[in-house]
Structure 1
Amino acid sequence: MVRTAVAFSPGHISGYFKRVEGSEPGSTGSVGAGVVIDEGVRSTVVPAAATSIRVVRPGRASVGSPPVEYALDRLGVTAHVTTECRLPIGAGFGLSAAALLSTLTAANYLFGLGLSADEVAARAHEAEVFHRTGLGDVAASQAGGVVCRMGPGIHADITRFYPEEPLYAMSLGPLPTASVLSSPDAMERIAAAYPDRCPRDLADFCRLSRGFAEKSGLIAPEVQQVLRACDAASVPASMTMLGNGVFAAGVPAEGVLSGFGEVYRLNVARRGAYLIEMKP
């Protein structure tokens, strides 16, 4: 009997980070802080003779995902995978990591692989690092909260706290993560801009992230315009890393961001990736 497994993983907005280069994928990653969000990726996985990936998002669908295909191949399984998300891809919402975590969580149950949650995360992190689609999103999205990662990889020390305030975000278009992560000049500016401490609360996270965004030189003019409007309204805000968008804290943020595009209301996630259901 052909069965289907469905799993979900939350996304992650990175506020500031610094790359850490290790001797292999498990020790390569980043330190930094971010917010695990309640929006993410839902993956439906069905056994198949050959792997195929369908990516569904509002208003469009596409095929193929090299990181997911790589991760499934490394597990020695083949499947038809459908990933679904409400947020825009490539906009700094950690959806590549979420797609990997949700797909591998579903595949683990579907094929009876017997992997622990740590082992699933390790496979997802390896695929992210190998394809340069992220450095710390998988580590953060193993659980919820506003996170501060104090070492690279999934086994690093991570602190988490869980504010009740909403977070609002909007996107002005994609920013290819690989193009930044593969640029030595960009990595040098990012390392110099890193604030080197953990945030105390959500507003402090926004302040630290904003200082990092400004000093790193990553802010595009259109993003700077949105951030100035947030400043004028005393709304804590910064740039999504790495994405051409803005996140802001507190209820007044919604009204400010709505003047520039579609606004997403987000809550801080309370948990990481999980299995939704298994069905015939």
Structure 2
Amino acid sequence: MVGTAVAFSPGHISGYFRRVEGSDPRTTGSVGAGVVIDEGVRATVVPAAKTGVRVIRQGRVSTGSPPVEYALDRLGVTARVTTECRLPIGAGFGLSAAALLATLTAVNHLFDLGLSVDEVASRAHEAEVVHRTGLGDVAASRSGGVVCRMGPGIHADIARFYPDEPLYAVSLGPLPTASVLSSEEAMARIASAYPDRCPRDIADFCFLSRQFAERSGLIAPDVRKVLSACDAAKIPASMTMLGNGVFAAGNSAERVLSGFGEVYRLNVARRGAYLIEMRP
């Protein structure tokens, strides 16, 4: 009898977005552009009498995840879930969505629920919207590439392209997504700052994202210092949305960002969430 399922989901860096308020979670979400990255979340799921979640990041362990617990409860299953990631949590890398997609992909196979990929994504998106941990990361991370989401929810049209050049990112600490998504003032600024077109390439993605970051008023002082250093070196860069960090492109990006913290080299993912293994 299979007793453990392991799955992985890529993360997602959002460059710019605009919230779309629907009548329910299925029609609520965002439009915008971002990059699905090869780093993300690995989830290991084991049946249990009561649901419990452990979150492991570089050896540090915390417990509990309301979105994951909510999603499992909605499915009527209980399990012991362990999520693991290398990137910092709450820093704009779409790890909440990745944890949900990885966990629900594993749960679907472990409990033989027979959910389609769309249904798994719908459940993950609902949990994100309900807990205000994200709006468009699930839709983006269903597959890879640089993405441009043209409607809310997981069924809207999404354009994708797959460049070979990497992005580099540095995190300056967490920025609680819910605090921004719950602010009507912040949402109004974000809506007016939104650049209403898709990016043509990585450089254009960085340009549009930076334009949005400046106009939205979301750039914190620490982020401004990093962006100024990138500007001085003529490196395309912007703020991770929503996170207290910076992503940049180009040959000198890693060197410049290294002056502000640990630098993460992030390749564009070629696929979305997938099952790694099932074992006894």
Q: Is residue 2:189 matched to residue 1:180?
A: no
Preserved contact between residue 19 and residue 135 of structure 1 (Cα < 8 Å): yes
Tell whether 2:270 aligns with 1:270.
yes
* 1:250-261 equivalent positions in 2, closer than 5 A: 250-261=250-261
Q: Deviations over 1:201-247 (max 9, x none)?
A: 00000000000000000000010000010011111000000000000
Partner residue of 2:121? 121
Partner residue of 2:54? 54
Q: Amino acid of the residue matched to residue 252 of structure 2?
A: P
The aligned length equals 280
Aligned mates of 2:252, 2:108 — CA distance in 1: 42
Matched residue SS, 1:258: helix
TM-score scaled to structure 1, two decimals? 0.99
The correspondence of residues 94-173 of structure 1 with structure 2, limited to 5 A, is 94-173=94-173
1:222 aligns with 2:215: no
Question: Residues 2 and 110 of structure 2 are in contact (CA less than 8 Å); yes or no, is this contact kept in structure 1?
Answer: no
Query: Which letter does structure 2 place at the counterpart of 1:149?
Result: R
Asked whether the equivalents of residues 15 and 239 of structure 1 are also in contact (C-alpha less than 8 Å), the reply is: yes
Question: For 2:198, what is the secondary structure of its paired residue?
Answer: coil
Q: Equivalents in 1 of 2:41, 2:180: separation in Å? A: 23
Cα distance in structure 1, aligned partners of 2:18 and 2:157: 15
Cα contact 2:164–2:268 (8 A) shared by 1: yes
Displacement after TM superposition at 1:252 (Å) = 1.1
C-alpha distance in structure 2 between counterparts of 1:170 and 1:69, whole Å:
30
Match of 1:65 in 2: 65
- Quote the Cα distance in structure 1 between the aligned partners of 2:111 and 2:58: 30
Counterparts of residues 191-210 of structure 1 (less than 5 Å): 191-210=191-210
Percent of pairs with identical residues: 84
SS at match of 1:196: coil
- Runs of at least 5 residues in structure 1 that lack an aligned partner in the other structure: none
TM-score, normalised on structure 2?
0.99
Deviation of 1:94 after TM superposition, in Å, equals 0.1
Q: Secondary structure at the match of 1:235?
A: coil
The yes-or-no answer on 1:42 pairing with 2:42 is yes
Mapped partners of 1:80, 1:273: distance in 2:
19
Q: Distance in 1 between matches of 2:2 and 2:11?
A: 29
**1:127-174, Cα deviation, whole Å (9 max, x unpaired):** 000000000000000000000000000000000000000110010000
> RMSD of the TM alignment (CA)?
0.6
- 1:3-60 CA-to-partner distances (Å, cap 9, x unmatched) read 1000000000000000000000000000000000000000000000000000000141
Q: In structure 2, what is the Cα distance between the partners aligned to 1:116 and 1:133?
A: 23
* Contact 1:16-1:213 within 8 A present in 2 as well: yes
Q: Distance between the aligned counterparts of 2:253 and 2:128, measured in 1? A: 31
Q: Shift of the alpha carbon at 1:2?
A: 5.4
Match of 2:79 in 1: 79
Distance 1:46 1:60 in 2: 21
Partners in 2 of 1:155 and 1:144 — Cα distance?
16
Question: Residues 2 and 47 of structure 1 are in contact (CA less than 8 Å); yes or no, is this contact kept in structure 2?
Answer: no
Partner Cα separation in structure 1 for residue 239 and residue 163 of structure 2: 20
